[in-house]
Amino acid sequence: MSQLKRVQQWATFARVWHIYDAAWQNPFQSAELLKKYLMGMHKPIYHPMNDCGDHVIVINTADVALPGDEWKKRVYFHHTGYPGGASWTLAWELHKKNPTMVMKKAVYNSMDRSLQRRYTMERLHLYPDANVPLNLLENVSNQIKQLRPKPKRLDEYKEEEVREFPKLIDLPKSYIVE
Amino acid sequence: MNTLLKCVQNFRFNVFKQTKHLSIYPALRVKEIQEKETNNELVISGKILESGREPYLLKNEHPEACPVCASGLQIKHTDVLILSQFMRSTGGMLPRRITGLCRRSQKYISSLVIMANKAGLMPHLKPANSHKDPKMRRGWKKYNKYFYESTIKIK
Ligand SMILES: [Zn+2]
């Protein structure tokens, strides 16, 4: 094997490390995106029997966002196996107990049920905040783009930005300042 | 019992008359701020202020339409710089007689204001006695959420 072909072989089958910021992202839409990187479906050499998945580090999973009132509508079911062992947990209760569990379950449930799924999940590294161990962070070579922009709060704008933003209406002279 | 009722009615009528005499501020139709000074006497004075919006006001190209319809913008609940123009300092929506919007736009913008408040995007526009930080809310309300504008139902 020539020198070039050997390097090409390494580059093809090397595991790439990606990082994804989950702040203000929907975990279920993000899971559909992340599973492609975890299973290697974004690669031309992809095959279900071909172990070519990448690593993904997900940060800020405590700040994931759900639409509307889904935090109190989405329910997670668990059964211990004993009689009367069923339990139903709301999404916000699960998130309060473990801020990475909603994201983990979203990715796990987004993938097809197979023997490979548990090994694929081993390549997913979840962190509730931005504190990632340095020995993992130094592997990262790609950032996955967020699905929706993080909304900027009004108090994060500068005062002159708010004042000089184009105004649609003016307050009438009868308006009394509170 | 009848006399008691009459007394109460008379009392209410008198109070109403008194307050009607005192409430000169909306009747004058000027923008005012009330200042109170208490060194042995109470002074309530009015002052006309500038809103500071004139230099940045958008020109309405279609004066027959309301400002929001005429601008042609697709406003989302994350556009807090636009939504804050229609809001009180306590976080509520201004009434239609002040905003001057059409019925449809008024309802749409007030829905967006509610959405932005629920998402905690304007934490400092709140009543003085409330938790300003969204993370201080109870239960499921403290977690991040976003909204779809397509869920606003207006005719
Ligand atoms: Zn209109």
Contacting residues of B for A148, CB less than 8 Å apart = 146
Q: Which residues of B16-38 are buried (b: 16+ CB within 10 A; e: fewer)?
A: eeeeeeeeeeeeeebbbeeeeee
Q: What CATH code would you report for B62-151? A: 4.10.640.10
Give one word for B52, left, alpha or beta, with left for phi > 0 and alpha for psi -120 to 50.
left
Answer whether B122 sits within 8 Å of A151, measured CB to CB: no
Choose the closest CB to A174 out of B31, B99, B148.
B31
Q: Which domains does chain A have, with CATH numbers?
A: 3-164 (3.90.1180.10)
Encode pLDDT of A15-49 as tens digits. Answer: 999 999 999 999 999 999 999 999 999 999 999 98
- For chain B (155 residues), the mean pLDDT of every run of 10, in chain order, is 60 45 40 67 74 85 89 93 91 90 94 94 88 89 94 87
This model of the complex carries an ipTM of 0.86
C-alpha–C-alpha distance, residues A150 and B122, integer Å: 14
- Residue-level pLDDT at A57: 97
pLDDT the model gives residue B19: 40
Q: Please compute the mean of the pLDDT values over residues A95-124 and round it to a whole number.
A: 95
Query: What integer best gives the mean pLDDT of chain A?
Result: 93
CB distance A40 to A119 below 8 Å: no
CA–centroid distance, residue B104 to ligand 1 (Å): 6
The pLDDT assigned to B133 comes to: 87
pLDDT tens track for A74-93: 999 999 999 999 999 999 99
Residue B110 CA to ligand 1 center (angstroms) comes to 13
A→B interface, C-beta within 8 Å: 23-24, 26, 63-72, 90-92, 95, 148-149, 151-155, 157, 161-178
> Is A175's CB within 8 Å of B98's CB?
yes
Smallest Cα–Cα separation from B86: which of B76, B77, B78, B96? B96
Residue B31 has a pLDDT of: 52
The pLDDT tens digits for A122-155 are 999 999 999 999 999 999 999 999 999 999 999 9
Q: Within 13 Å, how many C-alpha atoms sit on residue B103's CB side?
A: 2
Contact present, B121 and A151 (Cβ < 8 Å): yes
Predicted TM-score (pTM) of the model is 0.81
Q: What is the pLDDT of residue B20?
A: 39
Number of Cβ pairs < 8 A linking chain A and chain B = 129
Nearby residues of A170 by Cβ (< 8 Å), 6 or more positions away? B51, B53, B54, B57
Q: Where are the domains of chain B?
A: 62-151
Distance B106 CA to ligand 1 centre (A): 8
Considering only CB atoms, A178 lies closest to which of B71, B90, B124, namely: B90
